[in-house]
């Protein structure tokens, strides 16, 4: 590290294109319970049944549960409070309630799709191989307005068959709309998928093939975990953690000393967990030492087993703590990048290049000698060069006004080459390319209409895409392209943790046409409800 533009004037973008459709719906639904004093009982009862239906659909509950004694008893509690609500029947859950909720979801999906023409979108591939070596993929589409599930496919016959894989991707692109797609974000860095992406980019020049940034950082952490001294220290940390969490006295003591927290971490990314566990151990170093010391009344009980004695020896070992400190200096800045992506919402493109570069600088600052931080840098650079880097990242860095109009912006050859590649691939023809190059000069010098947006106050209060919408009107071709570029994510579908068994059931169960349609509708509804309720790295309740 060291999309075709139009000649029409873009004008300011409606900022509702960047407002999450999920947050709008959540806000709407949170006020949808109406007092029985202001609405008739039938209307209230219908709304109540719709909410119960959404609960059943989102969680995949058996509709027969609506007839169970415990469920009807639970519903009867509302009547005791003076709210006359009836539990929905199985027939209603399969009938009008399902149709109403499905209609709501289709309207939400259509609302999000309508924003693609302005902000562009990213196709997210969520693929996996099951126990029977069948390969499946869920197709999601993400934009600032929200993320939607489109379909699931069995691509077993496409793996290893380039022509079949290309045909599959072309079908997906045509469904989304070639003119809407900025990039396809894949879950795999395999040689076959890399070649599939290269061929697709040759065929559709404005579209880029990228690998999920969190997946790439996972690969970096995986590389680090194979280094002997790092692996050895992580194994020692596992011994300490295993003892604490399998010994009630040790766990209770540690929780009492540290506000109820333990040593394990439940991160969605498996390769992060050992490093976060090690970080927790270092944070709780003094509590661990005190736990095994003679001043603790039950220390003799803790060290009465072989596991306890081994954990006690490691806690007393200075070399373990030195090794742990070294590892954390090199690994935690990378973990923070993933946490930043999870917490910062959907739009990363203007910042991913700088964020990775800052992570490297943070690692460097933690060491005195080059020989100490270079193993970490090498792991980062290897993955960056092999699969993570895209010209989109260089262009996102250069055209992010919050970075470009600062004193410490650094335009290295990689940035220049990347943004040039992006402009050339995105321009419909040489005339449009020439116009955008002229407009780039206005951006570079901060003159014309952009002059009003160069100041820190103007930049800091707007996302990069909205800045271009507000101040880039004199450069319509470049403005449209930058709004699309800077509205994209860099992360893949894994963060949503969609339940893959749903797609597997849909694609393997069989059945007649009506049964297949019912399954498709249920998968569409459940996945999109989960996506609707996913906000900034976690699920929220309606």
Under DSSP, is residue 296 helix (H, G, I), strand (E, B) or coil? coil
Percent of the chain at pLDDT > 70 equals 86
* Residue (of 166, 161, 160) closest to 203 by Cα position: 166
Give the model confidence (pLDDT) of 16-69 as tens digits.
666 666 444 443 344 444 444 445 667 776 777 777 767 867 777 777 666 676
Q: 277-291, 350-364, 369-383: which has the minimum mean pLDDT?
A: 277-291
Is the CB of residue 185 less than 8 Å from the CB of residue 124? yes
Does residue 445 surpass a pLDDT of 80? yes
Distance CA 27, CA 20 (A): 11
Percent of the chain at pLDDT > 90 equals 66
Q: How confident is the model at residue 267 (pLDDT cuts 50, 70, 90)?
A: confident
* Residue (of 117, 26, 88) closest to 484 by Cα position: 117
Give the model confidence (pLDDT) of 158-196 as tens digits.
999 999 999 999 999 999 999 999 999 999 999 999 999
Q: What is the pLDDT of residue 45?
A: 67
Distance CA 276, CA 270 (A): 10
Rg over alpha carbons for the chain, rounded to the nearest Å, is: 27
Does residue 85 surpass a pLDDT of 80? no
Would the pTM of this model clear 0.75, i.e. be above it?
yes
HSE of 375, CA atoms in CB hemisphere, 13 A: 18
Does residue 323 surpass a pLDDT of 50? yes
The length of the chain is 542
Does residue 542 surpass a pLDDT of 50? no
Give the model confidence (pLDDT) of 493-533 as tens digits.
999 999 999 999 999 887 788 888 989 999 999 999 999 98
Q: 13-27, 167-181, 274-288, 429-443: which has the minimum mean pLDDT?
A: 13-27
For the chain, the average pLDDT equals 87
Average pLDDT over residues 362-383: 97
Q: What is the pLDDT of residue 25?
A: 44
């Amino acid at each position: 590290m060291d999309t075709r533009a139009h000649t029409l004037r873009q004008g300011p973008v409606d900022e509702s294109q960047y407002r999450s459709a999920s947050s709008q719906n959540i806000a709407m639904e949170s006020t949808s319970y109406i007092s029985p004093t202001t609405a008739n009982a039938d209307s209230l009862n219908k709304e109540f049944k719709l909410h119960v239906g959404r609960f059943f659909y989102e969680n995949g509950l058996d509709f027969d549960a609506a007839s169970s004694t415990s469920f009807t008893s639970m519903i009867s509690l509302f009547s005791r409070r003076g709210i006359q609500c009836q539990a929905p029947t199985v027939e209603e859950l399969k009938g009008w309630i399902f149709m109403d909720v499905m209609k709501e979801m289709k309207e939400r999906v259509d609302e999000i799709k309508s924003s693609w023409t302005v902000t562009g979108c990213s196709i997210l591939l969520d693929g996996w191989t099951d126990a029977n070596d069948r390969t499946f993929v869920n197709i999601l589409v993400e934009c600032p307005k929200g993320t939607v599930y489109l379909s699931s496919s069995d691509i077993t016959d496409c793996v290893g068959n380039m022509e079949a894989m290309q045909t599959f991707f072309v079908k997906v692109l045509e469904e989304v709309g070639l003119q809407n797609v900025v990039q396809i974000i894949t879950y795999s860095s395999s040689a076959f998928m890399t070649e599939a992406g290269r061929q697709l980019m040759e065929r559709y020049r404005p579209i880029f093939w990228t690998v999920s940034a969190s997946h790439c950082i996972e690969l970096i952490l995986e590389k680090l975990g194979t280094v002997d001294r790092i692996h050895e220290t992580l194994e020692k940390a596992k011994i300490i953690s295993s003892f604490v969490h399998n010994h009630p006295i040790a766990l209770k003591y540690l929780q009492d000393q540290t506000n109820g927290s333990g040593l394990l971490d439940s991160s969605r990314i498996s390769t992060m967990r050992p490093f976060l566990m090690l970080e927790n151990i270092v944070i709780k170093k003094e509590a661990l030492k005190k736990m095994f010391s003679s001043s603790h009344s039950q220390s003799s009980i803790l060290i009465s087993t072989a596991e306890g004695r081994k954990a006690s020896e490691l806690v007393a070992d200075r070399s373990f703590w030195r090794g742990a400190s070294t590892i954390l200096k090199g690994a935690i800045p990378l973990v923070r990048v993933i946490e930043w992506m999870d917490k910062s919402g959907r739009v990363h493109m203007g910042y991913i290049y700088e964020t990775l570069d800052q992570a490297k600088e943070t690692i460097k600052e933690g060491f005195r000698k080059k020989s100490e931080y270079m193993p970490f840098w090498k792991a980062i650079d290897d993955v960056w060069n092999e699969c993570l880097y895209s010209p989109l990242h260089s262009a996102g860095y250069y055209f992010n006004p919050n970075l470009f109009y600062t004193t410490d912006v650094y335009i290295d050859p990689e940035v220049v080459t990347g943004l040039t590649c992006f402009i050339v691939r995105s321009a419909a023809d040489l005339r449009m390319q020439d116009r955008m190059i002229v407009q780039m000069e206005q951006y570079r010098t901060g003159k014309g209409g952009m002059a009003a947006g160069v100041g820190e106050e103007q930049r800091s209060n707007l996302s990069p895409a909205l800045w271009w919408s507000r101040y880039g009107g004199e450069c319509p071709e470049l403005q449209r392209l930058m709004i699309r570029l800077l509205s994209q994510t860099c992360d893949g579908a894994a963060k949503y943790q969609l339940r893959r068994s749903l797609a597997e059931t849909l694609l393997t169960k069989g059945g007649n046409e009506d049964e297949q349609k019912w399954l498709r509708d249920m998968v569409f509804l459940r996945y999109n409800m989960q996506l609707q309720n996913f906000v900034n790295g976690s699920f929220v309740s309606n």
